[in-house]
Amino acid sequence: MLIPLLLPLPVLAQTSPTLLDLQLIAIEARADVTTHSPESIAEFAETRRAAEAGDVEAQLALARMLQLGVGAPQDTALSMAWVRKSAEGGYAPAQSAMGLAYTVGGKVPIDRVQGQYWLRKGVAQGDALAQTILALEFIDGDSSAEEQALAIEWLKAAAEQHFVPAYNALGEHLMRAATDDAQRIEAFAWYQRSAREKQPAGMRNLARAHELGLGVKQSDKWALIWYERAGWSGDVPAMRRMIDVYVKGELGQQANAEDAAEWRAKLAEKEKQ
pLDDT tens track for 176-204? 889 999 999 999 999 999 999 999 999 99
Closest by CA position to 70, among listed 83, 61, 82: 61
Whether 221 and 207 have beta carbons less than 8 Å apart is answered as no
Q: What is the pLDDT of residue 5?
A: 39
**CA separation for the pair 263, 17 (Å, rounded):** 20
Whether 59 and 88 have beta carbons less than 8 Å apart is answered as no
Question: Residues 216-243: what's their mean pLDDT?
Answer: 98
Percent of the chain having pLDDT more than 70?
Answer: 86
Q: What is the pLDDT of residue 194?
A: 96
DSSP state of 164: H
Give the residue extent of every domain in the chain: 1-161
- CA atoms within 13 A of residue 252's CA, in its CB half-sphere: 9
**Helix 164-177 and helix 145-160: axis angle, to 10°?**
140
DSSP state of 46: H
Q: What is the pLDDT of residue 140?
A: 61
In angstroms, what CA-CA distances link 174 with 16, 64, 182, 194, 246? 18, 34, 11, 14, 31
Percent of the chain having pLDDT more than 90?
Answer: 70
For the entire predicted model, the pTM comes to 0.78
Q: What is the pLDDT of residue 273?
A: 83
In angstroms, what CA-CA distances link 271 with 7, 17, 198, 207? 19, 14, 21, 22
For all residues of the chain together, what is the average pLDDT?
86
**CA separation for the pair 217, 193 (Å, rounded):** 18
Helix (H/G/I), strand (E/B), else coil: 230: helix
CATH homologous superfamily for 1-161?
Answer: Tetratricopeptide repeat domain (1.25.40.10)
pLDDT digits (tens, 9 = 90+) for 14-64: 334 444 444 444 444 333 444 778 888 999 999 999 999 999 999 999 998
